[in-house]
Each structure stands twice: as structure tokens, then as C-alpha cells.
Chains A and B, each alone.
Chain A
Amino acid sequence: MTTASPPAHATRHEPRRRRASGDTERGFSRVFRWITTGAGVLLLGVLAAVAAFLVARALPAFTASQAELLADGKLPAGVTSIAQYVGPLVFGTLLAAAMALAIATPIAMGIALFISHYAPRRIASGIGYVVDLLAAIPSVVFGLWGGRVLAPLIADFWVWLVGVLNVLPFVEFRATATGRSLATASIVLAVMILPIITAVSREVFLQTPKLHEEAALALGATRWEMIRTAVLPFGRSGVISAAMLGLGRALGETMAVLMILSTGLGYSLQIFGAGELTTIAANIASRFPEASGLAVNVLIATGLALFIITLAVNMAARAIVARRKDFSGAN
């Protein structure tokens, strides 16, 4: 009789047991749980509030008739709809961020690997400080430096590069003599996102299990081969996360782009030219002070587009990280 009852017994008592274990959580332990839960909820709340604000304020721009937009939306010349406005902005934003990422990621990985696996300890920590210092520079300063120092310096190089590239068939680049082009802005963006990518990559590379490094070395791997077989595969998802953090900053960066770039609007690959492209954040910053009424809604609509892009980029990054989960070494 009694031998048959335990299962039923156990299921009946399970909720009560769980509550009992909750009761053992006293004093600060309980308070701390509220704090952490609160922090999590707050984060979601802020995100929801931002999304709601963007959607609510952007809506008039989407519902307005073409006549209203043209009369009151302060659209640039030649643009007749929201899509025509947002499209080139999204294009310019993605192009600038992608170029910055393409420049910064390999350099950041190189620095991170040098710090974690090549440099003697004293030099490594020195370089680490310098990279962290780079992160402390305000973006306005980067903008000033990019516009006043880098652009004039690099202009001749762009002109030369365009001369070389135009030898290729079907290529017809224009270069501006001022250097205030998207290519220059991308370089400054790359410098700005370098510290975060380097710092995160370095941490990830340092966490490579000794066991795996030694496994590679014991097979007769040179240091570079050890890095290729053990360190890089282990750090892959971490480096992708680091790059995405950098991409997030590059997408939203305002001042540096605004102060360097001579802006324009269009789907153009003229990254060396002036007045060809702009980014969402820089466009909002330059137009917002003089915007009113529907023009504000139009600008917020472009902000909504930036919000969606950033969200999509982060989700894509997570998908990439998750795709080879079996091989990640987490199990």
C-alpha cells in the first residue's frame, strides 16, 4: 500500500517544497532579488518606452498625404515621399558603419591577439591602457580631429587612390579635394569603435582554455597555428559580439560624422566624393534645430528606421553566434 503512494505524494508536495525553499531567502538576499528583477524590468520598460515614442511620433509622417509632406515636411529637394527620404539615409548609415567595421575589426583583433598572446606582460598592459584611453575621448573631439586634421591630410591619398581605382573598367569614382567624404568619416568611426572591439576581443582571447592551447602546441603547432586552431575558433562568437557592439556605436554616431562629412542624399558608392551621402544620426542632428511640426515627425521616422536597423543587426549577430552552438565549446 505505502509503496504505491510515494509518486503521488511527491507530486502533491512539490509546490509546497518550492515555496519552502523561497522562504529560506531572507533579508538582503530577498532585497537583492527584487533589485535584480527590477533592473531587468526597468531595461525592458525603457526599451518599450523608446519604441512607443518613436512609433507614436513617427506615425504622422507615414499617414500624411504627399501634399502635406511637400508643404510642411521640409523634405530635401527632389524627394516626394518618406520612403525616398529614409532609403538613402539607411543606405548611407549602413555603408559608413560597414566600412568602419571592416577597417576596425581586423586591427582590433590584431591588437587583442598581440596583447593576449604575443607581447611581454609589461608591454601588453601598456598597450591595453592606451587602447582604453582612446575610448575616453569624446566624439566631438574625434569629429574636430577628423574634420580639421585628418580630412586635409588624407585628401591627397584619396585622390591618388581614386586615380588608381578608375583604371579598372566600369569604375568611375570621384574624389573631393577637401577630404570631407564618407571614407574619411569611416576611418574616424573605425578609430572610435576600435577600443570596444579590442577590449572585448582581448578578454575573450585570454579566456581560451589552457587545455586547448596546449593540445595544439603538443601536436606541433607554431604560435600562429595554435592561435588559429585553438584561440580564434574559441573566440569566434565573442569577436562577433564585440564587432556588433562596435557596429552599434558606429551606426548611431552623430557628431563625428556631422563634423567631417559634407552631406548629400542618394544611393551612391561615391565614398570619396563630397555631398554624396549622409547617415541617419548626422542628418537628424543637422536638421532637428530648425524642424517643426511635420518635419519633426519625418525626422523621428528616420530615427525609427535607425532603431529597427540596430535591432536587426543585433538579432542577426545572435543568430550567427547560435548557429554553431554545438561547436562553441560551451557544452
Chain B
Amino acid sequence: MAQRIDVKDLNIYYGDFMAVQGVSMTIEPKSVTAFIGPSGCGKSTFLRTLNRMHEVIPGAHVEGSVELEGVDLYGPEVDPVAVRRTVGMVFQRPNPFPTMSIRENVLAGVKLNNKKISKTDADDLVERSLRGANLWNEVKDRLDRPGSGLSGGQQQRLCIARAIAVRPQVLLMDEPCSALDPISTLAIEDLIQELKKDYTIVIVTHNMQQAARVSDRTAFFNIAGTGKPGRLIEMNDTATIFSAPSEKATEDYVSGRFG
């Protein structure tokens, strides 16, 4: 299920503007990798290149390569739609489809991918995905109610259920807890620990305690100044990044001196 990601010399552009420069890193399967850094350093932009969501914005493009188990996601033969089916994504704000019920939300991706699914298979998948997202017990009696009627934390877990229902290899999370209260945040963090048994997880977070709590490895991004591209400063085991970083900027950031 889980796959490894190799990024080599990746430059990311919005039109002519270079937003992120020269990122190379390896993301291990069945682990949680956290991206931290000040606002505007390009960590979310970089995350979105891992499932080719970056290019949804007009003019956005990349140079370099992102390999998933040796296959370049930016190769000429590769369909971005297929990439996004393999690399799932959870967004900053919970975004269940408002016109769909809880059940329909979970099945949304599956219905896109292989149209026909029998009623019993669908029921199984809904239950399995919602259990996988620790949401089943809270919603099992109201699967036909709109997903937008849930609390923020429940909605975010519904989005996670929707993402894992299509059985991706990798799960990208773009500040998944930034719109949530502490209790819901804790629920999501517990869930991430569960999910890493099966998936490669990459999480962007503004919250350094969160990075320290949930991740195995941490990458620190920084930006030299406004208008300059963001760069990967340092990547290492999370414990090392937070206790003995090798770069001065990382130490300043994790100790709260800026950002």
C-alpha cells in the first residue's frame, strides 16, 4: 500500500515566479513526514507538487522530478488524474461535498474511479473507510444526512475517510488541523498514527508541537526574503531536528526565535 517518494532538484513556479527552489528529498513509506517552516516558505506549494495539484493553478509548473517507487510523476506519459488517485490529499479546511450525504461523500472518489459498485461492496467500503477514519461510531446512524452538518473535526475525518476510500499509496495532509479545536486535533493526530501503518503520510503543519508529536521525520523549509524562492533547509529524524539541528536557521525556528 505505502510507497516511497524521491524528489530530485525540484523547482516550482507560478508563471515566471520561482516559488520553491532546488528541493531534493526522500520520503519513506509507512512513516509520517512533517514539513515545517514560516508562512510563505513554500511547504504547502511543495506538498501540492507531490500529487500534481500544483498545476491546477493557471501558469503553475515545475522542473525536476518526483518519483513514486521509481516512476516519475511528471513523465510525459503520466496522467495527472491517475497520479491524484494514487496520492490522496486532505486540505486545510474540511471540504466535504455539501450537496452529498456522508455516505455519498465517502463513495465520491470510488464512483469516479470505477463507476459501478454493488450495494454491499459500497456498504462495506463506507464502513471500512469511516472506521479507518475513526468516524464510524459517530455517524453510523445518519449516513444519509449531509456531510456539512457534522462538526469541523468530524468533517475533516470524513474527508480523510473519503481520501482513503480510493486506497491511495500516499496521503498528503495540508495543515489538516489548522481549522480545528484541540480535541478534534487530538483525534486527527491519533488517526495519523493509525494510518501510517498502511500509508506514506506527508503532513504540512504550522504547529511545531504537532510535528514533534506525530512525525518520524521533519523537513524544515525557509525563505530568504519576500520575492525570493523557498528552500529546503534541513531534513532529518524529528527528534534530531528538534534537539540538535545542524543548521542555525532550523534551531532558531524550532526554538521559537522567529516564524
Contacts and interface: CB of A to CB of B under 8 A. Distances in A.
The reply to whether chain A is a binding partner of chain B is yes
B13 to A, nearest CB: 19
Interface string A16-52: 0000000000000000000000000000000000000
A212 to B, nearest CB: 6
Interface in A210-247: 211-212, 214-222, 225, 229-230, 233-234, 236
A126 interface: no
Interface in B43-82: 51, 53, 56, 81-82
The listed residue with most A CB atoms (<10 A of its CB), out of B93, B109, B166, is: B109
Contact of B93 (A211, A233, A236): A211
A220 B91 contact: no
A170 interface: no
Interface in B146-198: 146, 148-149, 159, 162-163, 166
B148 A329 contact: yes
Given A217-B56, A218-B88, A220-B85, A212 B95 contact: yes
A327 interface: yes
Contact of A234 (B51, B81, B91, B98): B98
Contact of B109 (A211, A219, A324, A329): A219
A290 interface: no
Interface in B68-113: 81-82, 84-85, 88-89, 91, 93, 95-101, 108-109, 112-113
A229 B91 contact: no
A331 interface: yes
A328 interface: yes
Contacts of B85: 219-220
Contacts of A214: 53, 56, 91, 95
A14 interface: no
Nearest to B56: A217
Contacts of A222: 81
A236 B99 contact: yes
A326 B96 CA distance: 13
Contacts of B88: 218-219
Contact of B98 (A216, A218, A328): A328
Nearest to A234: B99
Contacts of B91: 211, 214-215, 218
Contact of A216 (B82, B101, B108, B113): B108
B107 to A, nearest CB: 11
A314 to B, nearest CB: 23
A236 B159 CA distance: 23
- Interface majority SS (helix, strand, loop, mixed), chain A: helix
A215 B97 contact: yes
Nearest to B110: A219
Interface in A192-219: 209, 211-212, 214-219
A229 B112 contact: yes
A80 B163 CA distance: 68
Contacts of B53: 214, 217-218
B157 to A, nearest CB: 14
B97 A220 contact: no
A327 B112 contact: no
Contacts of B166: 219-220
Nearest to B84: A220
A217 B163 CA distance: 11
Contacts of A212: 95, 97-98
The listed residue with most B CB atoms (<10 A of its CB), out of A209, A219, A329, is: A219
Interface in B12-46: none
A219 B93 contact: no
Contact of A233 (B95, B100, B149): B100
B148 A217 contact: no
B108 A229 contact: yes
B97 A229 contact: yes
B97 A230 contact: yes
A225 B98 CA distance: 16
Given A211-B93, A219-B112, A220-B112, A327 B98 contact: yes
A327 B100 contact: yes
Contacts of A219: 84-85, 88, 108-109, 112, 162-163, 166
Contact of B95 (A215, A220, A324): A215
Contacts of A211: 91, 93, 95
B3 to A, nearest CB: 16
Nearest to A330: B98
Nearest to A223: B81
A124 B44 CA distance: 30
A32 B113 CA distance: 54
A326 B149 contact: yes
Nearest to A215: B95
A183 to B, nearest CB: 35
B6 to A, nearest CB: 22
Contacts of B108: 216, 219, 229
Contacts of B99: 233-234, 236, 324, 327-329
The listed residue with most A CB atoms (<10 A of its CB), out of B81, B85, B99, is: B99
Interface of B: 51, 53, 56, 81-82, 84-85, 88-89, 91, 93, 95-101, 108-109, 112-113, 145-146, 148-149, 159, 162-163, 166
Please name the 3 residue pairs, one residue from A and one from B, whose CB atoms are nearest each other, closest first: A329-B98, A220-B85, A233-B99
